[in-house]
Amino acid sequence: MRILIVTQYFYPEPGAATNRLLSFARGLARNGHDITVLCEFPSYPSGVLARQYRFKLFKIERFENFRIVRAFILPTTRFGILSRLLNYASYLFSSFVVGLFLRRPHIMIASSPPPTVGLSAATLSFLKMVPLIGDIRDLWPEYAIAIGELKSKMGIISGRLTERIFYRRCIAFITISEGLKNYLEKKNKGKKIFIVMNGSSIPDMPSYADQRANCFAGNPINVCYAGVVGLLQPIQDIVDAAQITMRDDSIVYTIIGDGVKREALENQVLSRNLSNITFTGALPLPETLDLLLKSDVAVVPLLNIEHFKSALPSKFFDYMALGLPIILGVDGEARSILEKHSTGIYYQPGCPHDLVAKIRWLQSNPDKARAMGMAGRELVYKSYSRSELAEKMEKIVSELIRAK
């Protein structure tokens, strides 16, 4: 069957959305489906378009066993709400125009956020008379409202109207956690809602089959974070922890990634004369994984907001797949998995002194820390590989098409 996946971000752009949709596209194509991914010209997070995408409305590419159609966007470094809204709006209109000229699929899958993707997909689905499945990774605009990024009454109304249009057009939803499923059930009574977690691609990478972090085997220990340095992730906790331990030469910190908060945090590091923390910026995946394998413990922080209790960050699974013990600053479902399988230890997000206390506990209990890392690796390889989750996705999509 022909399946059109609509997502703003896609390979080679980094991030959880890209990794999730890439595994789905590969899995669906591997099972014989004709897959087209409609996405933006790659520009995230640098805000720079490569030469081959400049002055074009779209570009069609062949990647592995499926097709990618890239559409025009106004690139942004995402430092201001206006620039991001222009970026989202440009993809909304370009994906709609380009999508009109694509061959009619049998079914569409739209991945949100940003919610403007859902509006474009809902309109295309209606005009082409094609059923639409919503892949909901986060709750927008609810998250933006909760963190105070979306404040104006008109902005909130527009965001919720966009959400409503998208949800009403969907015949079913796929999401990443029980909490998000419960939210969608309240909003969309009578519609089928399935859970396909984020998981990790590392178990599907043969070159990493025998590689795992050798945790707490030397001095100093390296406390690492790899991911977006953005509004939702309190990387401030790690910077403050570095200040608290600045005279303890047995602990160093590494921040891998980019985002809207990186520059401000780097300036703090300079002004505080912290020599025990390094920001690498965004790195290719092999370099990121190499640095993680040389680390001793990984931190997964998220703002302490009620909505985020349903979050299951993909980095949580990636860290575990590499055999790293986790210091988790996410309450709710992620914490339940962590504590049920003894893959790490929880700290109170927003409390760097608690983070330091947990780092020092692991440092004082290296055997227990290594056991946590091994427990996490076994868990991900057994239950959370992206290839297996892609197979689950394929079965759900096939079931929904047969039901139509």
For 90-139, what is each residue's pLDDT tens digit? 999 999 999 999 999 999 999 998 888 999 999 999 999 999 999 999 87
Q: What value does the CA radius of gyration of the chain take, rounded to a whole number of Å?
A: 21
CATH topology (fold) of 203-383: Rossmann fold (3.40.50)
> Which amino acid, one-letter code, is at 363?
Q
- 246 DSSP assignment: T
Q: Are 69 and 98 in contact (CB under 8 A)?
A: yes
Predicted local distance difference test score (pLDDT) of residue 144? 72
What's residue 33's pLDDT? Answer: 92
Distances (CA, A) of 151 to 114, 141, 157, 163, 233: 17, 11, 10, 17, 20
Q: Are 321 and 19 in contact (CB under 8 A)?
A: no
Mean pLDDT by 10 residues, the chain (404 residues): 94 85 91 94 83 89 94 80 82 95 95 91 96 90 72 79 92 92 89 92 90 92 93 92 97 93 95 97 91 96 84 91 96 94 96 98 97 97 92 88 74
pLDDT tens per residue across span 249-303: 999 999 999 888 999 999 999 999 999 999 999 888 899 999 999 999 999 999 8
Write down the pLDDT at residue 78. 63
Give the pLDDT of residue 404.
66
Chain-centroid distance, C-alpha 281: 17
Identify the burial level of 317 via C-beta atoms within 10 angstroms of its C-beta, where 0-12 means exposed, 13-18 middle and 19 or more buried: buried
Per-residue pLDDT at 298 = 97
Peptide bond into 141 cis (omega under 30): yes
Q: What is the spatial distance between Cα 91 and Cα 270, in angstroms, rounded to a whole number?
A: 37
pTM exceeds 0.75 for this model: yes
Domain 2-199+386-403 sits in which CATH superfamily? Answer: Glycogen Phosphorylase B; (3.40.50.2000)
**Residue 323: left if φ>0, alpha if ψ -120 to 50, beta else—which one?**
left
Residue ranges matching CATH 3.40.50.2000 in the chain: 2-199+386-403, 203-383
CB 335 within 8 A of CB 267: no
